[in-house]
Amino acid sequence: MIVKVCGNKYKENITEVLTSKPDMLGFIFYGSSPRNVDKTLSPSDLETIPQYVVKTGVFVNEEISSICKTVRYYQLDMVQLHGYETPEFCKLLSDKGIKVIKSFHIDDMFDFAFTDKYSECAKYFLFDTRGNNYGGNGKKFDWGILNRYSGKVPFLLSGGITPEDHAEIKKIKHKMFAGIDLNSGFEDKPGIKDTGKIIHFLQEIKYSRMENRYSINDKGFYGEFGGAFIPEMLQRNIDELTECYHGILDDERFKKEFFTLLNDYAGRPSPLYFAPRLSARYGTRVFLKREDLNHTGSHKINNALGQVLLAERMGKKRIIAETGAGQHGVATATVCALKGLECIVYMGAVDVKRQAPNVERMRMLGATVVPVTNGNMTLKDATSEAIRDWIAHPLDTHYIIGSVVGPHPYPEMVTYFQSVISEEIQQQLVVKTGRDYPDAVIACVGGGSNAAGAFYKFIDNPEVKLYGAEGAGKGEDTPETAATMATGTTGILHGSRILLMQDDYGQITEPYSISAGLDYPGVGPLHSHLHKTGRATYIPVKDNEALEAAYTTTRLEGIIPALESAHAIAVLEKVKFNADQIVVVNLSGRGDKDMDTYIGRLKAKG
Ligand SMILES: Cc1ncc(COP(=O)(O)O)c(C=O)c1O
């Protein structure tokens, strides 16, 4: 849900409001309003507002030339037209490249057919209460009336929303309901917002747990998948973790610490990059979500930061982790260095060899890397070994699982920490395209954490197609594959009921993929459920297809992707999108760790 905080007037107050992480800020350029910013804000005051916050100028029956001048002077991203501007007027502005929100004043008599004429020129509608003034009447209209709206333009709800309204707002299920506009109900006096009230309200509205068909139940099941199938020895740890995790969901201090680390330490938000040459090649609008630019080089840092804060709260001094590609190991070793905690990383001996640069990084960060020589010597075996360690050290140790796998609450918790990815995509798309959802999201799936994070905000929006790329190895119809969705059946692995690769006797089939991060015989319960219900489509991508995609991206965009992420890019070869569609590919990590493989293949090609 988009949150717009409108009627901001003073620089210091805006700095405070930004800590509530609004998606849009509104500035009123209307002389008769007590929140008019003409005399209180200069363009330089708006310069420090982060790029992903949409700066909206609110105008009432203003001349076009004056609007354009103000947009240029204050570097506004959108305008909100709050008077009796005609569709032709709005079109003139949108033809000039200015994105328009058109407001309508609603009462019981309002005929929503009136909005039709604006549907070509407005990015959003804003439904406000009809009152004596053009806006800021501080009154609500009957929100039941919204059901009469059947247009195609998403709308923001405005008019007298107060901190007590969160429960009523959550009940609005209209397909085009895109967000809320907060103003006088959250003020101490006109133009001075009470940030505490906004934050508290957003906790209820925005960060409340998923209330959709794909959410988890209280036993940790997504449909038939999930649960916590654990040895008795770990029950106390899991109970302790579940309690701690539920505690942080409503804890403002935790969120502040987590988001501060994400921003200042990990470097978030990661950019959403429009890739012009990939777009030209595939005949669609390709955006890359640049998780590769995070500190430590992948999305894994989001989850590692969240979990290390939990470990601190639980008073655990010893951290263990499993890793395949080494990215989760590096992220965990990093956060342990940051917090001064002991760190032990289990890694299959095959992966130790093929991801050598990451092994060196973990060691430099002070972690002990334990090569695992059981089974296939890859991610599954490393995970089993980490679970064994946890059983042996239940009191002082927290196990930072790196993906949306394992017993409840891990899949839900890791999804929650990774959901910042789609949260940002949504906000960034508004600025870049004027729409807060793409036509498709593509992400690679090992256990499924980067995909869960990239899908999360869009799971309940049927307009958004979701694609997961699996590591098919030499081919999903060969024994050398890690394509779980294509070949797997239901079973229990690492504490959770999921789709996994197994033989007729329930023995795990050893997986194979060129990419260490995708070389896992299962997928987390959320993805198992999304696959089973048909909500997401999972596409097997072979080693050579991923390698080709990596070379293509490197040559066309100057970006060397991780081998895992290259699987996601390869989906562009397999699914045809239209020229006007918006396709977001989650670039989960950078390719530094894979240079040996890339160079080896290039040499072999000659
Ligand atoms: C860069 C990168 N992408 C993707 C993955 C796959 O993990 P997940 O499916 O949990 O995102 C890994 C795992 O190590 C990785 O390092």
pLDDT in tens, 460-470: 899 999 999 99
To test ligand 1's pocket by mutation, which of 441, 449, 499, 590 has the most ligand atoms within 8 angstroms of CB? 449
Same domain? 185 vs 244: no
DSSP sequence for 345-383: EEEEHHHHHHTHHHHHHHHHTTPEEEEE-STTSSHHHHH
Residue showing tokens 């906790």: 203
Residue 357: inside a domain: yes
Q: Which of 85, 187, 322, 557 is catalytic?
A: 322
Same domain? 111 vs 47: yes
Same domain? 399 vs 421: yes
Same domain? 196 vs 226: no
Q: Tens digit of pLDDT for each residue in 125-164?
A: 999 998 877 766 678 999 999 999 999 999 999 999 999 9
Q: Per the structure block, which two tokens stand in for 10?
A: 């003073």
Which residue's alpha carbon is at the smallest distance from atom 6 of ligand 1?
Answer: 446
Same domain? 197 vs 249: no
Contact 278, 557 (CB under 8 A): yes
- Least confident range of 249-258, 293-302, 548-557: 249-258
In the three-class reduction of DSSP (H, G, I as helix; E, B as strand; rest coil), residue 471 is classed as: strand
| CB of 298 closer than 6 angstroms to any ligand 1 atom | yes
Confidence of residue 211 (pLDDT cuts 50, 70, 90): very low
Q: Tens digit of pLDDT for each residue in 259-291?
A: 999 999 999 999 999 999 999 999 999 999 999
Same domain? 251 vs 163: no
Confidence of residue 603 (pLDDT cuts 50, 70, 90): confident
Does 85 participate in catalysis according to the annotation?
Answer: no
Residue 283: inside a domain: yes
Confidence of residue 217 (pLDDT cuts 50, 70, 90): confident
- Please state, for a pLDDT cut of 70, what percent of the chain lies above it: 98
To test ligand 1's pocket by mutation, which of 350, 403, 528 has the most ligand atoms within 8 angstroms of CB? 403
Last residue of a domain, one of 177, 205, 233: 205
Same domain? 230 vs 200: no
Q: Which of 300, 316, 380, 465 is catalytic?
A: 300
* Class of residue 209 by CB neighbours under 10 A (exposed 0-12, middle 13-18, buried 19+): exposed
Does 219 participate in catalysis according to the annotation?
Answer: no
Residue 212 alpha carbon to ligand 1 centre in Å: 26
* Class of residue 236 by CB neighbours under 10 A (exposed 0-12, middle 13-18, buried 19+): exposed
Calculate mean pLDDT across residues 423-436. Answer: 89
Residue 125: inside a domain: yes
Average pLDDT of the chain, as a whole number: 94
Residue 136: predicted pLDDT:
65
To test ligand 1's pocket by mutation, which of 450, 470, 527, 595 has the most ligand atoms within 8 angstroms of CB? 450
Confidence of residue 435 (pLDDT cuts 50, 70, 90): confident
Residue 135: predicted pLDDT:
65
Last residue of a domain, one of 180, 205, 230: 205
Residue with the larger pLDDT of the pair 250 and 27: 27
Residue 184: inside a domain: yes
Confidence of residue 537 (pLDDT cuts 50, 70, 90): very high
Give the position, in ligand 1's atom list, of the atom nearest the Cα of 446: 9
Calculate mean pLDDT across residues 182-200. Answer: 93
Confidence of residue 61 (pLDDT cuts 50, 70, 90): very high
Residue 137: predicted pLDDT:
66
Residue 533: inside a domain: yes
Same domain? 298 vs 404: yes
Q: Per the structure block, which two tokens stand in for 186?
A: 């959250």
Give the position, in ligand 1's atom list, of the atom nearest the Cα of 323: 14
Same domain? 236 vs 174: no
Per the DSSP assignment, residues forming a β-bridge with 273 are: 288
CA-wise closest residue to 199 among 186, 190, 185, 189: 186
Residue 210: inside a domain: no
Kindly tell me if the per-residue pLDDT of 209 is higher than 70.
no
Contact 76, 55 (CB under 8 A): yes
Task: Give the total number of structural domains in the chain.
Answer: 2
CA-wise closest residue to 512 among 603, 402, 604, 377: 377
Residue 347 alpha carbon to ligand 1 centre in Å: 14
Rg, Å, the chain Cα set:
25
- At residue 513's C-alpha, the angle toward residues 358 and 412, to 5°, is 75
Strand ranges for 269-367 from DSSP E: 272-274, 285-290, 318-323, 342-348
In the three-class reduction of DSSP (H, G, I as helix; E, B as strand; rest coil), residue 395 is classed as: coil
Kindly tell me if the per-residue pLDDT of 292 is higher than 80.
yes
Same domain? 522 vs 501: yes
Same domain? 224 vs 178: no
Residue 562 alpha carbon to ligand 1 centre in Å: 9
Strand ranges for 138-229 from DSSP E: 155-157, 177-182, 187-189, 192-193, 221-222, 225-226
Residue with the larger pLDDT of the pair 229 and 434: 229
* Residue 38 belongs to domain spanning: 2-205
Which residue's alpha carbon is at the smallest distance from atom 13 of ligand 1?
Answer: 517
Kindly tell me if the per-residue pLDDT of 206 is higher than 70.
no
User: Rounded to an integer, what distance in angstroms lies between the CA atom of residue 407 and that of residue 245?
Assistant: 14
**pTM to 2 decimals?**
0.73
To test ligand 1's pocket by mutation, which of 299, 410, 498, 569 has the most ligand atoms within 8 angstroms of CB? 299
Long-range contacts of 162-169 (CB under 8 A, 24+ apart): 162/186, 163/197, 163/200, 163/201, 165/140, 166/201, 166/204, 166/205, 167/204, 168/143, 169/205
Give the position, in ligand 1's atom list, of the atom nearest the Cα of 325: 14
| CB of 303 closer than 6 angstroms to any ligand 1 atom | no
Does 322 participate in catalysis according to the annotation?
Answer: yes
| CB of 517 closer than 6 angstroms to any ligand 1 atom | yes
Residue 210: predicted pLDDT:
38
Q: Tens digit of pLDDT for each residue in 360-376?
A: 999 999 999 999 999 99
| CA-to-CA separations, 452 to 102, 312, 396, 550, 582, in angstroms, rounded | 34, 25, 29, 22, 19
User: Rounded to an integer, what distance in angstroms lies between the CA atom of residue 235 and that of residue 94?
Assistant: 59
Same domain? 49 vs 72: yes
Give the position, in ligand 1's atom list, of the atom nearest the Cα of 291: 1
Give the position, in ligand 1's atom list, of the atom nearest the Cα of 326: 14
Residue 581 alpha carbon to ligand 1 centre in Å: 26
- Please state, for a pLDDT cut of 90, what percent of the chain lies above it: 86
Number of Cβ within 10 Å of residue 515's Cβ equals 27
| CB of 284 closer than 6 angstroms to any ligand 1 atom | no
| CA-to-CA separations, 91 to 112, 123, 202, 553, in angstroms, rounded | 19, 11, 33, 37
Residue 212: predicted pLDDT:
44
Number of Cβ within 10 Å of residue 313's Cβ equals 15
Confidence of residue 19 (pLDDT cuts 50, 70, 90): confident
Query: Which domain CATH number covers 353?
Result: 3.40.50.1100
Q: Tens digit of pLDDT for each residue in 472-522?
A: 999 999 999 999 999 999 999 999 999 999 999 999 999 999 999 999 999
Last residue of a domain, one of 175, 205, 235: 205
Q: Tens digit of pLDDT for each residue in 376-421?
A: 999 999 999 999 999 999 999 999 999 999 999 999 999 999 999 9
User: Rounded to an integer, what distance in angstroms lies between the CA atom of residue 160 and that of residue 127?
Assistant: 11
Query: Which domain CATH number covers 74?
Result: 3.20.20.70
Per the DSSP assignment, residues forming a β-bridge with 181 are: 4
Residue 451: inside a domain: yes
| CB of 297 closer than 6 angstroms to any ligand 1 atom | no
Give the position, in ligand 1's atom list, of the atom nearest the Cα of 445: 9
Contact 488, 495 (CB under 8 A): no
Q: Tens digit of pLDDT for each residue in 306-357?
A: 999 999 999 999 999 999 999 999 999 999 999 999 999 999 999 999 999 9
Number of Cβ within 10 Å of residue 554's Cβ equals 15
- Least confident range of 125-139, 198-212, 410-424, 553-567: 198-212
Residue 393: predicted pLDDT:
95
Q: Tens digit of pLDDT for each residue in 101-120?
A: 999 999 999 999 999 999 99
Residue 156 alpha carbon to ligand 1 centre in Å: 36
Confidence of residue 208 (pLDDT cuts 50, 70, 90): very low
